[in-house]
Structure formats: C-alpha cells, structure tokens
A and B are shown apart, each in its own frame.
Chain A
Amino acid sequence: MSDTSGITSPSHSSPAGDYAAKEEVARQSGTAPQPSEPKKTQASSLWANAWRDLRRRPVFIVSGIIIVLLIVIAIAPSLFTSTNPKPGDLAHFMQKPKLGHFFEADWFGYDGQGRSIYARVIYGARASMTVGVFATLFVTVAGGLIGILAGYFGGWVDALLSRLTDIFFGIPLLLGSLVMLQAFTGRTAWTVALALGVLGWTQVARVMRGSVITVKQADYVQAARALGAGNGRIIFKHVLPNAIAPVIVVATIALGMYISAEATLSYMGIGIQNGISWGADISTASSQIRNSLHVLLFPAGFLTVTVLAFIMLGDAVRDALDPKLR
C-alpha cells in the first residue's frame, strides 16, 4: 500500500494528477451547492439526469409549453371557444379576421361556408394531434423494438425481421393507407393513426437497426457483457440510450409527416369521417387561397407550429441524452 501511495496521490505533479486536480477545482468552484448533493445522488439514472438537464433548456421549455397547450386544446376544445365549429352562416362568407377580437368566433375570420375558422382550428387540433402523436408512438415502439431485436441479435432474427421490414417498406405510405382505410367504414382519427403506423414503422426500424449495430460493437457493450450483465440490461441500459438519438430525430420528423399525411387523406376524402381536422381544412382552403389567404393561413399555421414544436422537443431530448452536450 505504502509504496505507491506517493505516486498516485492527487498532489503529485504527473499529468493525470494535474488534470484531475484542475477538474476538481473547476467543479467545486463552478457548481455543486454541497447540501443538495445527497438528494441528487439518489436519482441519477440516465432519464433522471436528462430530465434535470431538459428543464433548463429554453428550446425544451418553449416547445414543451406549446405541446402542452395543444394537448389541452385537443382534450378540451370547449375551454377555448364556445362557438360550434360545424354549422355555417353564409352571412359570414369569407369574412376577414378581426385580430383584436381575442378568442371570439371571428378572431381568425370565417371560411367559405361561413364557419368560424378559430373554432375549427381549435376543434381540429384533436384529430391532427391524435393522428400525429399516436401514429408516431406506434412507429417508434413497434419499429424501435423490431430494429433493436434485428440489430442486437443479428443472424436469423435479423434476416427474418429485415425481410419483413423490406416487405412493408415497399408499400407506399399514402397509397397503402388509402387502400387500408377503404376497409374501414367508420373512420376516426384512431383508424387513420393505425393505418399510418402500420405502414410507417419501417423507417424507424431501419434507423434503429443500423444504430444498434454500430453501438453493439462498442467496447462498453463488450465490457458490460464481460462484467456479467445480461441481454436485457445490456439492451436497455447500454445499447438503447446510445442508439436512440437518430430514432428521435426520425420520429419527430415523421410526426409532422403523419399530420400532413392525414391532411392529404382527408383531402382525398378518405380521412376522418364527419370530423374536423387541420388537414381537411387546409385542403378545402387550397382552392380559395387566391382571394382569401386567411382561410389557409390559420390551419396551416397551427400545423406548422405543432410540427415545429415536436421537432424542437425531439432535438432537445436528443441533446439531453448525450452528456457531452449538456
């Protein structure tokens, strides 16, 4: 014990000692109010750390507020408007917005059938959010799982799952969901989300598989195995957190894609039946934009902001999961 303690003590002037000492000084002077330290030590899993970091990121706060607001709108649209979005009054035909009239029926003006655009945008949030969020959740979970299994286990598992992915990859998203949705009689946002999810998971699966294959070869995965961790622990603690970044990026972009795919399906008359959605309103408005831009502007603006908020959220989460970017 005694023969090496001199060499390895932090005060020794070796490069390692110096560096460590410098780091130490920087750390103690920079941060760490000491009394709160014990509390922090208890929950320092990856996700807890990411969450602590996220709460300080402006990008996350802004996108989080927008998304929470949209979710509240989607769940309880009547909190935001008392106007019924469905019946039209042709007396209001294409009336321009009155931007001073906050939260009133004519705030965003009226559409070609004299319906309040504000009310329609508020009530349309539910369909768009449901389709976007649940289709994305579906593809992330299903595609992610298939990608992890294929990438991690390789061999025949990979061969089988990759061929399955290829088969689904060959079906065009819009054409495929159009055919699938023909089979449903009462089409709701849920059926649209399901159809898009069933056809859309391949992209996530491919990205996840590639990412897992890269991470699987990392030394720390081998090290974890050498120290006795089982497959489950290796996958969830070592591979997944390091492989998930590209999937988050793909998923957030896909979310926007699904909301617009729903819009396209509604435009073709095969989307949500008897419902209100931003997509349907955008397609209705598209024939009238030359004389009344506002009819398009508001549903399209809400769509853009929603997609942007999710992409920003994805970005922030991805950064928070990488300690080097914290």
Chain B
Amino acid sequence: MTTNETPANVPEPAAGKGAPLLEVRDLHVEFHTRDGVVNAINGVNYSVSAGETLAVLGESGSGKSVTAQAIMGILDMPPGKIPKGEIFFRGDDMLRMSDEERRKIRGSKLAMIFQDALSALNPVLSVGYQLGEMFRVHQGLSRKDAKAKSIELMDRVRIPAAKARVNDYPHQFSGGMRQRIMIAMALALEPDLIIADEPTTALDVTVQAQIMDLLAELQREYNMGLILITHDLGVVADVADKIAVMYAGRIVENAPVHELYKRPAHPYTRGLLDSIPRLDQKGQELYAIKGLPPNLQHIPAGCAFNPRCTMAQDVCRTDVPVLHQVTERDGAELPGRGSACHFWKETIHG
C-alpha cells in the first residue's frame, strides 16, 4: 500500500463554501431486536453545505433512511440505539443536545420530506391546518394568521386555487399535489437543511420530474442544503452536486455527481450504473448485480459486498476496506472522491 492511500475517515473539507451545515461523523446505529442486534449503520461520514445537494444512493436496507432518521432525531429508541458517532449541525453535536433543544431545531432549521405523502399527512386534519401547525408550533401564530401563511405556502409550491383548497383533506388531493404539500410543510419555516427521503418514489414519472424541479428551484431560492435519499440513479443526475453510495450501512463511494457516472471507483457503484436499462441495449438481457443485499444481523466478514463482487479476492473476505482517497493514475488527488474498495485502482483505472 502506498502513502496516498490514507484512510479518509474524516469527510473532505468543504471546498470554498465555508464550514459544512451538517456533518455526520462515524455514525453507528443498531437495532436491538428479539433475534439479536441489527447493525443498520456502521460508520457513516458525510457533510452538506448550504446550497449544496448531496444524494445518498443505495438499495433497500442499505441504511440511507435510518441515517436520515438519526439526523432528524426521529429514530425509535428503543429498539434503535446510537452507540457511536457525532452529528454536527452548524458546529453543534445534535446527539448531545437535550430533547427540547432538538425539538426546536426540527422543523425550523432542519426539515424532512417523506416518501409517501398520503401516509405522511394526517388524514383527519385539513392540509391548511397541518401547514399552519408549523407556524403555530414554532412561531406561536394565531390560527387565523397561520392559515393565511398556509395559503401563501401552497401558492409557492404552485398548488392551483390554494385559497379554495386550504380546507381540503389530504385524500382530496392527487399524489403530486400531496407531495407538493409535503414540500410546503418542510419549507414553511425556511430551514437551513432539508432531508428528502425518496420524495418521488411514490409518484409517476411525469410528476417525478415536476417535483424534482420544484425542489431544486426552491433549494436555489432559499440557498438550503439538501440531502436527497433515493435509489433512483436517474433522479440524482440532474439535481445532485455530489453522491454518497451506501451499502450495508457504510458509505462505499463518494464523488461529485458527474465523475461518479463517468468513472465509478467501486465495483458496487459500477454494478448499479450497469444495471440501468438503456435504449441502445434493447433486446439484450438487463445486467443485474448477483445475489442479495446482506442480512444486517450477519454482515459478511471483510468487505460487505464481497459475496456479490466480481473482483473479490482473499483480502476482501478478511479485511474491511477503509474509504481510500481516490487519485488519478499519476497520483493526483481527485477532490471529494473516496472509495471503500481494496481494488479501487483497478476499478477506476481499468
């Protein structure tokens, strides 16, 4: 091993944009169940700055949503537990704050958009009431003022005839409109950071594009940080600045968005990119990564991806790879790139 393969445990310094808004350091989350301990997150590091979009990519069970829940502080504890790690928000470790301090941050500074707006909106309350709740909880506005603000918000996310629809219930809206309401709720207090947990997964493709555009536009307008959790590589490409790929509760690769698509430095990422259906491959069999994601109670020894990896060697079955700083062939560091693979050089440089 050469000297430039130093373990990149600490996320890359935020270049130019000042101190990161949110910084997750060596986060571990485990769930204590009757059948044993499930290690959902095993040391995640990432950071987001204001105005920046980080896409967290991974398949089901890779820990992307659990990380988001840990950041928001809405993890059910027990059974969940955070044995190790730090989550800095504007320099303060949120895991050391009191419940009340965290509650004040939630919603006003840090907000979340959920995957399925139908189930994330309370069916017995009108959307106006639920939007207004944000102002009443955090700013103590009267019901009437809160309602006026709700109408304003609904206009901002372009819900037609907001004034007439403010008293309608969630089930009276279409899927896309409901997701707009979720976005409006998250935006209400102009937070510094929004976590969007698969915001378009429950929507059909045409509406997906509208919602992503709206989200990206509002992010620019308010200069917010955005963490976009998704398993859809197509959604990511247009809006994200950088990508973190998760597998079995770890970040296996991070990179600026276009570099990742061009030159993946981890076999898992490459497998993901190869399994996107492409028009020019019509009629051919679609590529799929062999095997299944690991059982988080029994994560394979060594690299968690080794049973499914085409490049696996003996070392992959014994040593857990650290996140290596990825470099060019000539040793020049690629900023913001890391790969947790023993053979990242072979992967990226062929």
Contact = CB atoms under 8 A, between A and B. Distances in A.
Interface of A: 1, 3-5, 7-10, 14-16, 19-21, 23-24, 27-28, 32, 37, 40-42, 44-46, 49, 155, 218-220, 222-230, 233, 237-238, 241-242, 321-324
A10 B160 contact: yes
Given A20-B160, A23-B174, 8 more contacts: A14-B176, A14-B207, A16-B207, A24-B160, A28-B164, A223-B182, A227-B185, A322-B123
Interface in B157-191: 158-161, 164-169, 171-177, 182, 185-186
A224 B136 CA distance: 13
B121 A223 contact: yes
Nearest to A50: B124
A32 B206 CA distance: 31
Interface stretch (B47-55, B107-115, B265-273, B285-293): B107-115
B242 to A, nearest CB: 22
Contact of A230 (B103, B129, B213): B103
Interface residues of B, number: 59
Interface string B123-135: 1111011000110
B301 interface: no
Given A10-B160, A220-B122, A226 B72 contact: yes
Interface stretch (B83-91, B137-145, B333-341): B137-145
B129 A44 contact: yes
Contacts of A228: 103-108, 134, 137-138
A4 B217 contact: yes
Given A223-B112, A230-B103, A41 B122 contact: no
B272 to A, nearest CB: 27
Contact of B137 (A1, A42, A233): A233
27 contacts: A4-B214, A8-B158, A8-B210, A14-B176, A16-B175, A20-B173, A20-B177, A21-B160, A23-B172, A24-B161, A27-B164, A28-B161, A32-B164, A40-B167, A41-B128, A44-B128, A46-B129, A49-B126, A219-B114, A219-B119, A223-B114, A226-B112, A227-B111, A228-B137, A229-B133, A321-B124, A322-B124
Interface string B10-46: 0000000000000000000000000000000000000
Contacts of B166: 41
A19 B221 CA distance: 28
